[in-house]
């Protein structure tokens, strides 16, 4: 049926456009089936599969307006309606691109996280999600380097799972690949069964699980023992901030920092020094005021206070959260820079209050 609509004769389509102004025919199609809309790309959840107690995979079929993604390891902005409010988040795509318009994401419920909990525990097949274009540079090059190391922790396995699945689909010689994955225990390893099976069957992949409950945090001595030649491998790291900070330090100290690719799900924290003081935040249009700590984003402050905040990636990439600053100064949580003049558009997801702040929201 979608194919029929796509091939409507052009004059007929233009006539429909004139008759329906100011709404476009596309807007009516979106009401009939959101997957037909080209203006508002959307996808439908086709299947839901539990991975661990708190992580769930959603198989999504994208509609005709979605531009897709180009490489394993990229992420997708995803809009989810909950109680009439559209919330945007980004999630790594866990399947390599295959041109089918279908892809998977795997979501772990974050304690207190409304969107992640909804996706991990409450979404059922048939749910419609808004989609942004696949994006990101944390990707597997084609062809891949000869020796790879993936260093992942917790849900940070998701973009790397897409890369490993892409490698299994390649024909010919695969790269010599090491995966060092850190999780609290064996039961909490997302895709644990698949990864172990892959390592057992594929001669090119070695898997080392590091369980923090028994062994503590991963350190350099452990990495040296698990993968002695890590300094000469092209490496990708994704996971909690502690793991990424460890990786950055170790690769920099070994003078091979340019061989390390990092993916953060949150902007790196900066010290609360450099003029950061927090302060009282006034959301002027909502008539809401809240006290902000120096290292908490204005986006988090607003949401906690009940303000409807525009948002997307929550890490300073997509600019969905930009909002006008009416008064005060803010600190960029990524760089520590203090800035802001009345009328400036600020990214609330990576900005903290630096004294009293007024935002036009």
Smallest separation (angstroms) from ligand FES to the CB of 303 = 11
Q: Which strands, in side-by-side order, build the sheet including 42-50?
A: 85-92, 75-82, 128-131, 42-50, 55-62, 102-108
> And the tokens for 199?
């390592």
Footprint of ligand FES on 263-322 (CB under 6 A): 311-314, 316-321
Smallest separation (angstroms) from ligand FES to the CB of 88 = 7
Three-state DSSP class for residue 130: strand
Smallest separation (angstroms) from ligand FES to the CB of 86 = 13
Which of 263, 260, 250 is CA-nearest to residue 149? 260
Site string for ligand FES, 31-50 (x = CB under 6 A): --------------------
The CA radius of gyration of the chain, in Å to the nearest whole number, is: 23
Smallest separation (angstroms) from ligand FES to the CB of 40 = 18
Smallest separation (angstroms) from ligand FES to the CB of 137 = 16
> And the tokens for 345?
């558009």
Residues forming beta bridges with residue 207, ordered by sequence position? 179
> And the tokens for 241?
């901030």
> And the tokens for 134?
């696949």
Q: Which is nearer to ligand FES, 164 or 349 (CB)?
A: 349
Q: Which is nearer to ligand FES, 194 or 241 (CB)?
A: 241
Smallest separation (angstroms) from ligand FES to the CB of 327 = 21
Three-state DSSP class for residue 14: helix
Footprint of ligand FES on 173-192 (CB under 6 A): none
CA-to-CA distance for 264 and 300, rounded, in angstroms? 18
Binding-site size for ligand FES (CB under 6 A) equals: 12
Q: Which is nearer to ligand FES, 254 or 322 (CB)?
A: 322
Three-state DSSP class for residue 192: helix
Q: What are phi and psi of 282, to 5 degrees?
A: -110, 120
Q: Which is nearer to ligand FES, 145 or 310 (CB)?
A: 310
Smallest separation (angstroms) from ligand FES to the CB of 319 = 5
Which of 113, 144, 106 is CA-nearest to residue 261? 144
Site string for ligand FES, 124-153 (x = CB under 6 A): ------------------------------
Q: Which is nearer to ligand FES, 145 or 268 (CB)?
A: 268
Q: Which is nearer to ligand FES, 115 or 318 (CB)?
A: 318
N- to C-terminal Cα distance for the chain?
A: 42
Footprint of ligand FES on 314-353 (CB under 6 A): 314, 316-321, 347, 349
Q: Which is nearer to ligand FES, 97 or 310 (CB)?
A: 310
DSSP code at position 159: H
Question: Scanning the structure block, which residue is given the tokens 């892809």?
Answer: 103
Q: Which is nearer to ligand FES, 45 or 318 (CB)?
A: 318
CA 111 to chain centre: 17
Smallest separation (angstroms) from ligand FES to the CB of 333 = 11
Q: Is 205 exposed, middle or buried (0-12, 13-18, 19+ CB in 10 A)?
A: buried
Write out the residues near ligand FES by the rule CB under 6 A. 311-314, 316-321, 347, 349
């Amino acid at each position: 049926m979608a194919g029929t609509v796509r091939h409507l004769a052009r004059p007929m389509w233009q006539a429909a456009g004139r008759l329906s102004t100011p709404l476009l025919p596309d807007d009516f199609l979106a009401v009939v089936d959101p997957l037909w809309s080209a203006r508002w790309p959307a996808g439908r959840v086709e299947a839901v599969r539990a991975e661990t107690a708190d992580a769930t995979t959603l198989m999504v079929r994208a509609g005709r307006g979605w531009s897709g993604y180009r490489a394993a390891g990229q992420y997708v902005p995803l809009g989810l309606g909950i109680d009439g409010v559209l919330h945007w988040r980004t999630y790594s795509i866990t399947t390599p691109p295959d041109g089918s318009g279908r892809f998977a994401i795997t979501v772990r419920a974050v304690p207190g996280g409304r969107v992640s909990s909804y996706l991990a525990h409450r979404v059922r097949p048939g749910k419609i999600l808004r989609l942004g274009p696949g994006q990101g540079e944390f990707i597997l090059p084609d062809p891949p380097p000869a020796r790879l190391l993936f260093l992942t922790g917790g849900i940070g396995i998701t973009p790397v799972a897409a890369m490993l699945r892409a490698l299994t689909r390649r024909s010919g010689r695969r790269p010599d690949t090491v995966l060092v994955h850190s999780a609290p225990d064996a039961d909490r390893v997302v895709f644990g069964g698949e990864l172990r099976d892959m390592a057992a069957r594929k001669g090119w992949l070695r898997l080392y699980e590091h369980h923090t409950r028994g062994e503590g945090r991963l350190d350099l001595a452990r990495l040296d023992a698990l993968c002695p030649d890590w300094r000469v491998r092209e490496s990708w790291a994704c996971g909690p901030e502690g793991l990424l900070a460890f990786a950055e330090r170790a690769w920099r100290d070994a003078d091979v920092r340019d061989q390390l690719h990092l993916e953060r799900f949150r902007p790196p924290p900066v010290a609360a020094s450099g003029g950061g003081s927090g302060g009282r935040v006034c959301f002027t249009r909502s008539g809401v005021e809240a006290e902000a700590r120096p290292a908490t984003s204005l986006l988090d402050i607003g949401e906690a206070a009940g303000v409807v905040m525009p948002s997307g990636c929550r890490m300073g990439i997509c600019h969905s959260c930009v909002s006008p600053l009416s008064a005060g100064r803010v600190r960029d949580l990524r760089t520590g820079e203090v800035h802001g003049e009345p009328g400036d558009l600020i990214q609330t997801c990576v900005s903290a209050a630096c004294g009293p702040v007024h935002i036009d929201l």
